[in-house]
Amino acid sequence: MGKNRKAITDKVKLQLWVKSGGRCQFKGCNDYVLRDELTYANMNNAHIAHIIDVNPKTHRFSDKYTEEQKNELWNLMILCQKHHRLIDNEEEENCSIIKLSEFKKKHEDRIFNLTSIKDNVKTNVIFYFSKIGKFHPNASFDDVRKILSNKGLYPSTEPIEIGSKNGVIEDNEELYWKMEERNLIVDFEKKVITHFENNSIKHFSVFALAPQPLLIKLGTLIPDLYTVDVYQKHREPDTWEWQESSKIKKFIIHSPNKVKIGVPVLNISLSASIDNDRIKKIIGNDCSIWTLTIDTPNNTFLTNSKTLEEFRKTLRLLFDEIKQVHGHDAILKVFPSMPNSSSIEFGRVWMSKADLSMDIYDERNGFKKALTIKRN
C-alpha cells in the first residue's frame, strides 16, 4: 500500500472474505487462498484487488469515485497471487472493469447458492448406463454436481451406479434383454432399495442412458413414495441440465376406431414417427393402435421439466382410457420412440396393480419384442 493510500476497513474485509468463500474470484480459478495449492500448507495467498483501480497509471483508474468509495465492498475482489498479478501487470487490457465486475458477481452468487444448501435438500444420485449398440454412455459426476447445485441440491454420497454399462453381449443377441433386465433388477434391489428403506434422505436424482425398454423397466422399479427428479441428456447444448426457459410442448393422442376392438397397441411417436403399417406387419391387422405424439416428432423437443410433467399427465389419462376400452386382461403392445427421461417416466407412471401388462418392443434393424412387464 502506498504511503497516502487509505486502508480498507476490517468490516469490509470481513464481508469480502465471507462473500468470496475464501476463494479466488477470477473466472475459472476458484483456488482456496488460505493454503498453498501445491503442498496444501496453510498460508495466506489472498490479495484484495480493486476493480476500479486506485492507481492512476492503470487503464482501470477513474477519478469518478473517491478512494473511500473504491474501498467499498462493491469494488473489491479476493484474488490469488497469480491472478492479482495477471490483472495488474500482464493482461491488463483483457481484464476490464466490466469483466472483473462480472467475475465477482458470478462467483459471489455461486458461493451464496452453495452455502444456502441445508441437510434436508440432499439428494441420492442414481446413474444407470447400459450399452446402446456400440455406444457406452456415461456422465460426469462433476457436471452433475454443478447441475444439482443450481437447484439448491447436493449429492448425499457418490452416485449409486447400477446396470452393466460395459456389457459384452450386443442388444441384437437373444440373451441380451433377459440378462440386462436381470442385472438391472438385482442391482436395483442391492444398491437402491437399501437407500429407500434405510436412508433418511427421501429425494432421488436419476441420470440414465440405455435402450428404451430397459429405461421403462427402470421406471417401474422406482417407488412413488419419494420425490424423484429425472434428467434428460440434451444434444444442444450438450448437458443434462433442463432448459427451463424453453416452450412447454403439448402432446397429441390419436385414438383408434373403437367400433372394432383388436389387440391394444401404443405407438409413441415423439423422437421420430413410427408408421402404423410397420406395426401391423408385426402384430397383424387385427389391432387397435393408440398413438401418443407431438406436432413435429424430433429427438430434441424435450428441453424442460414442465414438458416432462405434461407427458406424465397425458400418459396417465391415456393408460386409463386404454384400460377402459380393452379391459384389464389385455396385453398392451408398446412401440416407443421417445427420449430417455420420458422412457423412465413412462415406467413410473405405469401402475402394476391397475394398468395393463405390457410387451415392450425395441427397434434394432426392425422392431422386435424386448421385454414383458406384467401387472400384479
Q: Where are the domains of the chain?
A: 10-115, 119-230, 252-373
Q: Is the confidence at residue 199, as pLDDT, over 80? A: no
pLDDT-based confidence at residue 14 (cuts at 50, 70, 90):
very high
Distance, in Å, from the CA atom of 137 to the CA atom of 327, rounded to the nearest integer, reads 39
pLDDT category at 117 given cuts 50, 70, 90 is: low
Question: What is the pLDDT of the chain when averaged over all its residues?
Answer: 90
Closest CA to 228 of 367, 333, 124: 124
**Residue 39: which pLDDT band, with cuts at 50, 70 and 90?**
confident
The per-residue pLDDT for 136 is 72
Select the CATH number that applies to the domain covering 252-373 from these four: 3.40.50, 3.10.450, 2.30.30, 3.30.530: 3.40.50
Lowest mean pLDDT among 3-7, 60-64, 123-127: 3-7
Please classify residue 55 by burial: count the beta carbons closer than 10 Å to its beta carbon, then call 0-12 exposed, 13-18 middle and 19+ buried: exposed
Burial label for 302, CB within 10 Å (0-12, 13-18, 19+), is buried
Q: What is the crossing angle of helices 340-349 and 212-221, to 10°?
A: 40
Q: Does 213 score more than 80 pLDDT? A: yes
Mean pLDDT on 89-117: 84
- What is the average per-residue pLDDT within 220-224? 88
Least confident of 211-220, 296-305, 361-370: 361-370
Greater confidence (165 vs 100) lies with 100
Provide the pairing of β-strand 76-80 with 160-162.
unpaired
Banded model confidence at residue 166, pLDDT cuts 50, 70, 90: low
The torsion region of residue 297 among left (phi > 0), alpha (psi -120 to 50) and beta comes to beta
- In the prediction, which pLDDT does 277 show? 96
d(CA 360, CA 333): 6
Band (232; pLDDT cuts 50, 70, 90): very high
The bridge status of strand 331-337 relative to strand 263-269 is parallel
Buried b (16+ CB within 10 A) or exposed e, 259-282: eeebbbbbbbbbbeebebeebeee
